[in-house]
Structures are given as C-alpha cells and as structure tokens.
Amino acid sequence: MHDLVTALKVLNSVVFVVLALVGVRRWRRRRDEAALWLALSFLCLGVVVSAGRLLPSHAHGVLEGALLRLELELLVLFPYLVFRFATAYARPSRRLLRIATTLTAALSAWTFALPSIPAAGESGPASFVVYVVAFLVHWAVLSVVVTIRLSRAGRGQPSVARKRMRLLAFGAAALTVALIASVPSGDAVALGAQIVALAAALAFLLGLDPPQFVRTSWRQPETQRLQEAIQGLMTLATTRAEVAQRVLAPVAGLVGASAAAILDADGNVLAQQAVPGAGDAVEPVEVREPGATLRVWISPYAPFFGEDELRNLHTVAALAGIALDRVRLFEQEHQSRVALERANELMANFIALAAHELRTPVTTVHGFVQTLNRLEHRLDEAQKQELRTSLEQQTVRMASLVEQLLDLSRLDAEAVEVRPQRLDLRRRLSDVVDVAAGPRAAEVQVEVVGAGTANVDPAIVDHIVTNLVTNALRYGRAPIRVSAHVHDAQVRIAVEDSGPGVAREIEETLFERFTRAGVPRDRAAGTGLGLAIARAYARAHRGDLRYEPRQPTGARFVVELPSP
C-alpha cells in the first residue's frame, strides 16, 4: 500500500504541474483578471507538489526552513487565489472580501513567524497545532465560499459552462477534503487522501480546459435546438419577424443569455426575448455579420466558461443575415408584384370611370357639332348662338371632369406631395372664395377666429375649400359662411350654408364617388366627385373632412388639418 500511495503522489504531482501549465497558458491567451487569479492559484499548487518533493523532511538550516515556510505560504495563498477567481466576475461584498484578505494576510504572517516546523510524523508544540487548525479552517472556509458561488453561478448557464463551473466547485471541495484527510497518519488514510486529491486535480483540469470532444458532448442539447432552428430558418421562415423569432430562443440558450435581441442591417430591432435586468451586464455582447446583428446580455462568467459558444454566435448571425436577405428579397418581389397589380387596378378604374363620366358630355358635344354641320343653313343666328353657348358649357364641364378624374387618379396612387407653408388664412380663404364663387362671392362670408396664420399646404386648402364652396352654392342657399380657427397645432375650416341640408338616407355615402346631396342625377350640374376629392385631399394632409347638420337648416362641412 505504501508503494501505491507513493505512485499516486507522483501521479498527482504530474497532474498538478500540467494543471499549472494549462492555467498559465490560458492566462496568456485571455490576459484578464479571472484567468490571472486562476493561473496563480494552480501555479502555487504546481510549485508545491514539484519543488516540495525536492525539499528534505527535516529543515536543518535557515535556507531550508525558509523554503519550507515558502511552501506553506503557497498553500495558504491557494484558496485565497481561487476565491479571487470565483469573485472576479461577480464582485463579493466589501465585508466578505475584507474578511478573506485579512485572514489570509494574518495566516501568511503567522507562517513566517513560526519558530519551527516539525517533520512528518513528529509531534509539534501546541502553538503549531493551533496554526494547523487555523490553516485548515482558513482553507475550508474559503473553499466553501468558492464551491457555493460557482455552483450557484452555474444555474441557468448553458451545459458546457454549467458543467465546467460545477467541476471547479467540486475540485475545490475535494481538495479541501484531501488536505484535511492527510492530517491523520496511516497508509489507508493517506491512500484515500491521494485518491481524493487525484479526483480534485482531474476535476480542476476538466473544468479549466476540457477537451473538444468533451465540450461537444456536453453541448449536445443546445446544438440540437440550434440545428432545428437553423433548419427552420432556411426552409420555413417566410418573414423577417419569423426569422428573428426562430433564431432568438436557441441563441439565448446557447450562451445562457438572460435577454437577447436580433437587429436587421439598418439597426432595427426585429425581435427581443426578455428585458435586461439590473443584474445583467450593462453593455451587451454584439455580434455583427452582414445582414444581421445579435445582441445578447450574458452572465459575467460567460466570457471565461463559454468562449466557444460566443464564437458560435458569429456563425448563427451570418446564417440569420443570409435568411433575412432571402426574406427581404422575397418581400421586395412581393411588394413589386402588389404595386404592379395596384397600378393596373388604378389604371383600369380610371379608364372605366373616365369612359363612364365622359360619355354624356362627349355625346352632347357630338350632337351639337352634327347639328351645326348639317342644319346650319336652316338655323337663325339666335339658334346658332344658343348651340355655341351650350357647346362651350359642355366643353367646360368636360375639362372640369377630366381635371377631377386626374385628381382622383393622383390621390388613389398616393402621388400627392404635401408641402406645408405659413399662410395668412383670411387672405387665402378670401381669394379662394372670389375664384370659386365668381359673381356670387358676395353671398359668402369669410371669418377667421384666433391666430390668423397656419402652417398648411396652400394647394390642398384651395382644392378642399373650392369644392366645399362650390357645393354650398350649388346645393344650398345663401348666406354661406366660411370660418377658420387655429388651436393646438390644428386648423379647422368650416363651410356652412342655409339650404335644405343633406338627406338623412345618404349621409353615410355622402363622401363616396358620384353621390349628390339628394339631387337627381339628371338635374344636377355637378359630377358627384367633389366631396370624395375634398376628403381624399384632407387625408393626404393627415387630416379629415366630416359632415354635420346645421341647425335649424343647412349643411356644415368641417375639415381639420395639422398645423405644426
């Protein structure tokens, strides 16, 4: 059994030296605080197990005594250094850090103040026994803190990070048990202590730098979910939001993110999972690839334990970018197809509308022209003049109708550009009334309440008020009143008359095309397009037009337009 214990000691020495080298290599690769603390802790153990075998069992000189104390000091420092690693990412309270540092400093000073160090198997003085007890308590307390912090931090982490953190926690606890077990004498106890120490060393080695095949095996659950998401990403996702939703949950699971978001090439958030909490990293990790950006809020331990997973985010982001580009092209093609269909529909509607509405005036003009050509010699001058006057009226009606049809076409195609500018409302409304009412302008009153200026598009105001005043003169009775009021960044213009008003049965369809205010079609001079055009212009200006009955009689039309 003694030979077995010796063989295990040699094996443990080799493993701990390898562990020290791995820790130093990892620090040289990462160069961060956590890697430095871990490298120093395993370097202490590596020096103790390698150089300690070269020291004699009995210290016969000052140099040998100093080396033995240095060996003890490295053992004192090991749990403190591991403690600093465990608290490098999640800072401990000031009180806990102060207690750990004070205990370590006091025990270090005590180590170098020991008058003598008894050899193995020798009984030491009571003061040395007290020192050993303090040493074991110090080691045990810090190891318990490390074990608890790493175990708790592993909750909610992806498989690889969680297993690595638990292995380090187990290693710290097992090494403490091995150290305490090595105090009593006896080959059986020594054998058990060496076996536990070997288990601790192997756990440290796997937790610090597990082989790639081990990581792949541990990562299998997240990999499976990610593969399923990528398959759906390339085959099933048909919209950008669906692409984002399919990739977001597997990405968050891959790195153990508490919150995650995916952005498109323009920086717009397509989807977000959860909301970053107070305990999350202040600055999220962003992975940018052409077409997509992944933004994840990871735990403080993820950069150390999940470096492979963070690298995999680049692959996921690249695939998401490809899928988003594919969907974007599909959406553009679909939008182009819809726009073309819409354009064809507008063109067909315009042609049908023009053919329907122009048929009557064109037929009338054609009849007048035929009459003049064939019967001119039978008509006297008065009859000829009447025909010419009627012919001029029909051509004016045709020109007005064509202009209205073009207005409707532009409004349907959303091709009306709104250009607001500061207007003097009273002057503008008076000018519009003079043109629209002509010789009947005296029947129309213009009134402006409050601020006399507004920031609106003058052409749109002209179109709307002209149509409303024309309707009031055509279907209503004088007096006609045009009033304007500016309030809360909005201008309200009302046109009201004293006529019979609008029949109740057509109020709901009043703003539809070819609706007249209760006047038979064959007796009306209008086309029935004026109110439809007026409302369309108001809505193009992000406003609206509505009808209100006027008391006791009459009609009242109110247009509201934003005036920022």
SS3 per residue for 204-241: HHHHHCCCHHHHHHHCHHHHHHHHHHHHHHHHCCCCHH
- Can you tell me the distance from the alpha carbon of 366 to that of 390, in angstroms, rounded to the nearest whole number? 12
Would you state the pLDDT for residue 356? Answer: 58
In three-state secondary structure terms, 486 is strand
Run of H or E including 366: helix 307-375
Q: Which residues contact 490 (CB under 8 A, 6 or more apart)?
A: 560, 561, 562, 563
Question: β-strand 269-273 against 285-289: which pairing, if any?
Answer: unpaired
Query: pLDDT (tens digit, 9 = 90+) per residue, 66-97?
Result: 778 888 888 899 999 989 988 887 788 889 99
In three-state secondary structure terms, 245 is helix
Residue 462: count other Cβ atoms within 10 Å of its Cβ.
Answer: 17
Degrees, nearest 5: CA angle 450-453-459: 130
Higher pLDDT, 537 or 182: 537
Cβ atoms of 426 and 446 within 8 Å: the answer is: yes
Cβ atoms of 75 and 48 within 8 Å: the answer is: yes
Higher pLDDT, 342 or 217: 217
Would you state the pLDDT for residue 81? Answer: 92
Pair of tokens at residue 241: 């939001």
Residue 55's alpha-carbon distances to 30, 58, 122, 180, in angstroms, are 34, 8, 17, 22
Residue 177: count other Cβ atoms within 10 Å of its Cβ.
Answer: 17
- Can you tell me the distance from the alpha carbon of 457 to that of 190, in angstroms, rounded to the nearest whole number? 95
Cβ atoms of 495 and 478 within 8 Å: the answer is: no
Query: pLDDT (tens digit, 9 = 90+) per residue, 125-161?
Result: 788 889 888 998 998 999 999 998 888 888 778 888 8
* Stated pTM of the model: 0.56
Run of H or E including 148: helix 126-153
Would you state the pLDDT for residue 558? Answer: 93
Lowest mean pLDDT among 20-24, 187-191, 534-538, 545-549: 187-191
Q: Is the dihedral of CA 519, 525, 529, 533 positive or negative?
A: negative
Residue 137: count other Cβ atoms within 10 Å of its Cβ.
Answer: 12
Average pLDDT score, the chain: 80
Lowest mean pLDDT among 96-110, 426-440, 518-532: 518-532
Q: Which residues contact 98 (CB under 8 A, 6 or more apart)?
A: none
Degrees, nearest 5: CA angle 312-316-321: 145
Would you state the pLDDT for residue 116? Answer: 77
Query: What band does 520 get if pLDDT is binned at 50, 70 and 90?
Result: very low
Answer yes or no: is pLDDT of 432 > 70. Answer: yes
Query: What band does 514 get if pLDDT is binned at 50, 70 and 90?
Result: low
Lowest mean pLDDT among 379-393, 419-433, 436-450, 514-528: 514-528
Higher pLDDT, 71 or 366: 71
Would you state the pLDDT for residue 328? Answer: 76
Answer yes or no: is pLDDT of 113 > 70. Answer: yes
Starting from the edge strand earliest in sequence, which strands make up the sheet with 480-486, in order?
444-450, 480-486, 490-496, 555-562, 544-549
Answer yes or no: is pLDDT of 237 > 70. Answer: no
Answer yes or no: is pLDDT of 463 > 70. Answer: yes
Higher pLDDT, 360 or 540: 540
Answer yes or no: is pLDDT of 359 > 70. Answer: no
- Can you tell me the distance from the alpha carbon of 120 to that of 141, in angstroms, rounded to the nearest whole number? 25
What per-residue string of b and e applies to 36-64 under the rule 16 or more CB within 10 Å gives b? Answer: bbbbbbbbbbbbbbeebeeeeeebeeeee
Answer yes or no: is pLDDT of 260 > 90. Answer: no
Degrees, nearest 5: CA angle 166-168-174: 100
Degrees, nearest 5: CA angle 133-39-43: 60
Location of structure tokens 């020290």: 20
Would you state the pLDDT for residue 57? Answer: 55
The percent of residues above 90 in pLDDT, for the chain, comes to: 8
Nearest to 115 by CA among 68, 75, 157, 161: 68
* Residue 58 Ramachandran class (φ > 0 left, ψ -120 to 50 alpha, else beta): beta
Would you state the pLDDT for residue 120? Answer: 61
Cβ atoms of 285 and 201 within 8 Å: the answer is: no
Answer yes or no: is pLDDT of 524 > 60. Answer: no
For 546, list phi and psi in degrees, rounded to 5: -135, 165
What per-residue string of b and e applies to 475-505 under the rule 16 or more CB within 10 Å gives b? Answer: bbeeebbbbbbbeeeebbbbbbbbbebbeee
Query: pLDDT (tens digit, 9 = 90+) per residue, 27-67?
Result: 888 788 888 988 899 888 888 877 766 655 555 556 776 77
SS (H, E, C) 530-562: HHHHHHHHHHHCCCEEEEEECCCCCEEEEEEEE
Starting from the edge strand earliest in sequence, which strands make up the sheet with 259-264, in order?
269-273, 259-264, 292-297, 285-289
Query: What band does 186 get if pLDDT is binned at 50, 70 and 90?
Result: low
How many residues are listed for the chain in this entry? 564
